[in-house]
Amino acid sequence: QEIGAGNLDYVVQVETGDEIQDLAESINEMAANLKRSQQELERWGRELESRVEERTHALAEASARMERRAVQLQISAEVAHAIASLRDLDQLLSEVTRLISERFGWYHVGVFLLDERGQYAVLRAANSEGGQRMLQRGHRLRVGQEGIVGTVTGSGEPRIALDVGEDAVYFDNPDLPETRSEMALPLQVGDQIIGALDVQSTEPAAYDKEDVALLSSLADQIAVAIENVRLFERTQRALEEVQKMHRRYVQRQWSETTRRQGEVVYEYNRLGQPLPSDVLLPEVEIAMQEGEIVALPEIAGGNGGGRERQGDARAALAAPIKLRDQVIGVVDLHEITGPRYWTEDDIALVQSVSDQVALALENARLFADTQRRAEQMATLNRIGLALSTGLEMESVLHTLYEQCRQVLITDTFYVALYDEETGLIEFPLLTGRSGAFDIEPMDIQTPSLTSYIIQSGEALYIPDARSVPPDAPYTVKPLNDLPNRAYIGVPLTVRGKVIGVLSIQSYEPNAYTEEDIELLTTIASQASIAIENARAYERLRETAEKLREVDRLKTQFLANMSHELRTPLNSIIGFSRVMLKGIDGPLTELQEMDLNSIYSSGQHLLSLINSILDMSKIEAGKMDLSFEEVDLHTIFQTAISTARGLLKDRPIQLITDIPETLPTVWADSQRIRQVLINLVSNAAKFTEEGHIALRAEAGDEFVTVSVSDTGIGIEPEALNRLFIPFQQVDASTSRRAGGTGLGLAISRSFIEMHGGEIWVESEPGKGSTFFFTLPIYEVVRRQEQEEAELDPDRPAILVVDDDEGVITLLKRYLESEGYQVIGVRQSHTAVETAQRLAPHLSAITLDVVMPNMDGWQVLRALKQTPETKDIPV
């Protein structure tokens, strides 16, 4: 009886010297073996639970971090893309604060810009109500002194206050009383700080260093966009001024004055260099050299200064064209009818005309410069948009090359990236007229143009590589022996740190202008951000690969452990079952009780192993369900039988309320049986007396099943962790009732994979009721028929989101525009649905954060499936 009751330390004391003593010794030996087996199994179970829990928690934390960073990176790309095309500064800043606030869900977002003197950071845009009040009163902070924004604009370094009320540099602001965390990031273009991005949250520890690293790239993109808009506005103002000046200048008397004069053309070469003096007319030469009007009332003969005069010039009047006291040309008049004594009015008129010509020439130059800048702005905008669409490094670099070759000479083009940790310079892209090349990484200390630019942090222009002075601080070494003559290299800079070099080269000397250097420098600012984003994306992808490897190792570990545990367990269960059936001979009552105890313990441990494996499959997205039309009455009968066995000889009443007309559901019968039995078993564990009730009722689309009890109930603070793996209500209950904390977590996953929901309502001391829903079979079938009957002439959109409200909202928007919308709430069915509807689908919208399979896993599966790989997502 003692051994059968579980006391395996009990020793049978019999000394009769006959078969009874032999049996007693056998029983004692068997009990000792059972105890060792039980201890070993318990140790294995504890170790397995501990290892799985540690691995699961680590994986969950890492996965959550990766998911958060991926979402943030995606949001940053969306914001950068949205603001890239804006041309009004106020609209740009307002859109920045609105988008960041909406996408990240932050309490307050503000953009500060430095004033003209750089003394104050002035708030220019804000999304919150308090921020609007600050804008109305012209809120500003002294640079380097007031608040986090003042500190950041003074130092150029990001700053975080995790608990703003206790931060030493925080400037108390009554307009934002709910702020608990603040992060300020410098807006920087090159080495110049132009302002700060300020974000605030109501959470006390909302930001960390990873947020700083990620959002700094977004701040850099915002800074470049602001600078581009400012440049565009200055260009527009200059263009308007030129047009006003051009309309002022009218030449009224000029045609009358020059009607009888001959024409002399002043020529200059394409570089603007003056012609040799021996081809200049005397009056022109004097006017250019002395900068004064030259009047010749009479010219003897038809030649002058070695140049053939046009016509028969008898008199000449030359007036210098001056711009800011510098002679840039000459207006030369010839009288052909005879000598002419030039009057003061003649001289004043020619002087006035020369002044107007000077202004007209300057306006023409300004207009040409304006056109050039407008073309440059369009180019930069096009390049920015192209770069913002790529996340993979190879795609970003090739896009950069294709955009540069459209506006610059790129006989050779390369991007070099510097790894500060290894001290190596890598060349991920070297291409041009001679094709693409691979170059081995170079040590930063190796003399080269690239290493010089990285170390100096300055752009470098070499008009002709064959004419470099011997005392130059750099070494010219041709890449792959390419015949490059002209060279431009500009540093790629992120937050003041040089990360690489962008270079273009020409086979011809003197191929580039100052404008080319300026354009490439601006392109490099945008390229730096795109490259840094690509690096961040690559780090995220590597992290994801490592997590997948951890998941694979965990799965392999569980498979190995399950095999190692199942082998002895199956032997124990099998042999105990053989003995219980009497195959090895008759058993005494005590022996039978002992063997039943062994058999039950083995089955319990086997159930534990199966639960852990189920949880592992669910987390890995490898749990396959077999859906079919299911009659719940059969499943309820199994659960009722289990409940009766558990409640035998206990003062607990079993109540059932299952309508005969209950419709069939679309489900995996085995998994739903597992869920229902788990809920019934839990109710039996925690109920000492009273009743347990099983009920079901049908709604419009779902059947709702409930299991209620009159047990100990659950404290409100424990409800949130009830469905978390390895979590139990409290230690005392765990010890009293046992269990692994996996049953409810597995049940929730199974129900959600069916498209249903599971929840609990409880009151301490009065009991608990667990509810779950399952889709009605006829409803599912009708929906599939509706999908099959899609109008082939109307575009269809598949919306994958676990939030029904989002699906409804998109339906409302898209159907009014002529689209057909199909909603899928369960991520694991998204690929199958997309395959079935592929011929009709124009696009798929995909939520990122979803249970069981997240959006990235679904996206990967869609792109690996032939029918869906080309559908835009």
Confidence of residue 338 (pLDDT cuts 50, 70, 90): confident
Do 676 and 772 touch, CB atoms closer than 8 A? Answer: no
Helices 777-788 and 830-837 cross at an angle (nearest 10°) of: 40
Neighbours of 746 (CB within 10 A): 24
pLDDT confidence of residue 696: 96
End-to-end CA distance of the chain: 67
CA distance 826 to 803: 10
53-77 pLDDT per residue, tens: 666 666 666 666 666 666 666 666 6
Q: Quick one: 623-777 is in which CATH superfamily?
A: Histidine kinase-like ATPase, C-terminal domain (3.30.565.10)
Q: How confident is the model at residue 263, as a pLDDT?
A: 39
Domain 108-205 matches domain 790-864 at the CATH topology level: no
Q: Given this model, what pLDDT does residue 293 score?
A: 92
Cβ(95)–Cβ(78) below 8 Å? no
CA distances from 486 to 197, 464, 525 (A): 40, 5, 22
Q: In the chain, what percentage of residues exceed pLDDT 90?
A: 23
Residue 827, C-beta contacts closer than 8 angstroms, at least 6 positions apart: 800, 802, 847, 850, 851, 852, 853, 854, 855, 857, 858
Supply the pLDDT for residue 266.
Answer: 45
Selection from 349-358, 364-373, 621-630 with the highest mean pLDDT: 349-358
Q: State yes or no: pLDDT of 416 exceeds 90.
A: yes
Q: What is the pLDDT of residue 252?
A: 40
Place of tokens 């600078």: 227
Conformation bin of residue 189: beta by default, left when phi > 0, alpha when psi is -120 to 50: beta
pLDDT tens readout for residues 599-648: 777 777 777 777 777 777 776 666 778 888 999 999 999 888 888 888 88
Nearest alpha-carbon partner for 55 in 612, 731, 523:
612
pTM for the whole thing?
0.45
Region 176-182: what's the mean pLDDT? 86
How high is the pLDDT of residue 64?
61
Confidence of residue 740 (pLDDT cuts 50, 70, 90): low
* Section 505-524 average pLDDT: 90
pLDDT of residue 258: 43
Write down the domain spans for the chain: 108-205, 254-371, 392-533, 623-777, 790-864
Assess whether pLDDT exceeds 50 at residue 268: no
Per-residue confidence at 16, pLDDT binned at 50, 70, 90? low
Average pLDDT over residues 433-437: 85
Q: Looking at domain 790-864, which of 3.40.50.300, 3.40.50.2300, 3.40.50.150, 3.30.70.260 is its CATH number?
A: 3.40.50.2300
What is the CATH number that goes with domain 392-533?
Answer: 3.30.450.40
Residue 191: is its pLDDT beyond 50? Answer: yes
For residue 758, the surrounding DSSP H or E stretch is strand 758-763
For domain 254-371, the question of CATH label 3.30.450.40 is answered with: yes
User: Which range, of 624-633, 800-809, 859-868, averages the lowest pLDDT?
Assistant: 800-809
pLDDT at position 58, please?
63
* The two three-digit tokens of residue 538, written as one number: 């690559």
pLDDT tens sequence across 111-158:
999 988 888 999 999 999 999 999 988 899 999 888 889 889 998 899
> What is the CATH number assigned to the segment(s) 108-205?
3.30.450.40
Q: So what's the pLDDT on residue 42?
A: 62
In this prediction, residues 768-774 reach a mean pLDDT of 95
Taking residues 720-745, what's their average pLDDT?
Answer: 67
Is 50 exceeded by the pLDDT of residue 840?
A: yes
**12-21, 50-59, 486-495, 813-822: range with highest mean pLDDT:** 486-495
